Amino acid sequence: MRRGAVAALLALVLSGCGGTVVRGSGPEEGSATADAPARQRAAQVAAAWPGSEQERVWRSGYYPVDVPVEWLPKDAFHGGEDKAAYYAGRLVLAGGLPQTFSGLAQVRWADGSELTLPLRSADSVFRSLTEGKAGCPGRCDRPLKVTGAEPGTREVSTSRGRAEIPVWRFSVAGYADPFVYPAVAAQQPPVPPGSGVEVPGARPAAFSAASADGTVLTAGVAHGSCERVERVEAYETGKAVVLIARVRSAVPPGTVCDLAMHYSPVDVRLDGPLDGRVVLDLVTGAPQVPGGGPGGGPARGRDGGR
């Protein structure tokens, strides 16, 4: 989640059960009084981007878009017991895993550029599937047998266009197609120094998707149980887009609200297509990469692992 206003909501959620009282003092978020500081901050963020060190790092890094944590085979799963075993981490090795030596791998873009990144070993991928899992929610007495793994490649979308990344293709007994996992991890988007500025009257919106023609962005806004998202607007320049969320109380002052946090998607129409422009966070000034899962989180793929 983003820092600043959203972090305050997270702190409330983590503090445990209870309630808070909606107070009536101060201007409403989304009022005319609250508009100017947010737009000034958006202008500052957008103006600082071109030619910055953060832009240089962004243009040369690996920031995947909608790349899943796994590609499951088309026939996954053969039954509820297999599915329960997989998600409970009930996998056993029935064969050896490849050993890695250099510990490095290359990501290759369509324009011929390359980036060397740390390689996730087959062993570390296997351990991520079996360690720290919750208990089995159903019947999973019979574990899945991993009979081996082999390296491969996969074409994915990134902030710089299509790229070929290394993957591990795990063979599982009884399944014709492999279970496939990325062998490199995404880099963290660069955050400008001195970021995390509080923005009176506004909150950041988390960019999650763009329409096919790039003219409509979908973004998620965090808000409390007694709040509603009034609108999300876009501050646009030729190089960047900054999303500004307006949230306001949805109940009369004095109402006791629970401390649950909600995440609402909102569509924002741009003046022109996104077309290579970067979407920057209002609070941190950092570039945003759309995620593939609910709330912008990791997605899961199912297409045979090819």
Taking alpha carbons only, the member of 269, 125, 294 closest to residue 210 is 269
Res. 57: pLDDT tops 70: yes
84/139: higher pLDDT: 84
CATH number, domain 66-186, options 3.20.20, 3.40.1130, 2.40.128, 1.20.120 = 2.40.128
3-state secondary structure 284-306: CCCECCCCCCHHHCCCCEECCCC
Mean pLDDT in residue range 178-198: 88
- At residue 38, the pLDDT reads 92
The string of DSSP codes covering 149-188 is EEEEEEEEEETTEEEEEEEEEEEETT-SSPEEEESSPPPP
- The pTM assigned to this predicted structure is 0.74
- At residue 276, the pLDDT reads 86
Write the CA distances from 98 to 61, 147, 179, 242, integer angstroms: 27, 12, 15, 45
The token pair that represents 164 in the structure block:
């070929």
Residue 291's pLDDT band, with cuts at 50, 70 and 90, is low
Residue 303's pLDDT band, with cuts at 50, 70 and 90, is low
DSSP 46: H
Res. 20: pLDDT tops 60: no
Say whether the peptide bond before residue 77 is cis (omega within 30 degrees of 0): yes
Residue 294's pLDDT band, with cuts at 50, 70 and 90, is very low
Angle 164-281-204 from CA coordinates, rounded to 5°: 130
Average pLDDT score over the chain: 83
pLDDT in tens, 21-56: 433 333 444 444 457 899 999 999 999 999 999 999
How far is 188 from 303, CA to CA, in rounded Å? Answer: 27
Res. 225: pLDDT tops 90: no
Amino acid code (one letter) for 106? Q
Res. 114: pLDDT tops 70: yes
Q: Return phi, psi of residue 85, to 5°.
A: -65, -40
Mean pLDDT in residue range 121-132: 94
- At residue 13, the pLDDT reads 34
> Which pairs count as long-range contacts for 57-61, CB under 8 Å and 24+ apart, including other chains?
57/190, 58/159, 58/189, 58/190, 58/278, 58/287, 59/160, 60/115, 61/115, 61/159, 61/187, 61/189, 61/190
Mean pLDDT in residue range 208-234: 91
Amino acid code (one letter) for 136? C
Amino acid code (one letter) for 288? Q
- At residue 17, the pLDDT reads 34
Domain boundaries, the chain: 5-60+189-290, 66-186
Res. 134: pLDDT tops 70: yes
Q: Is the CB of residue 266 less than 8 Å from the CB of residue 234? A: no
Establish how many alpha carbons lie within 13 A of residue 127's alpha carbon, considering only the half-sphere containing its beta carbon: 5
DSSP 121: P
The token pair that represents 189 in the structure block:
């988007």
239/227: higher pLDDT: 239
- At residue 213, the pLDDT reads 94
The token pair that represents 146 in the structure block:
């991993």
How far is 83 from 138, CA to CA, in rounded Å? Answer: 9
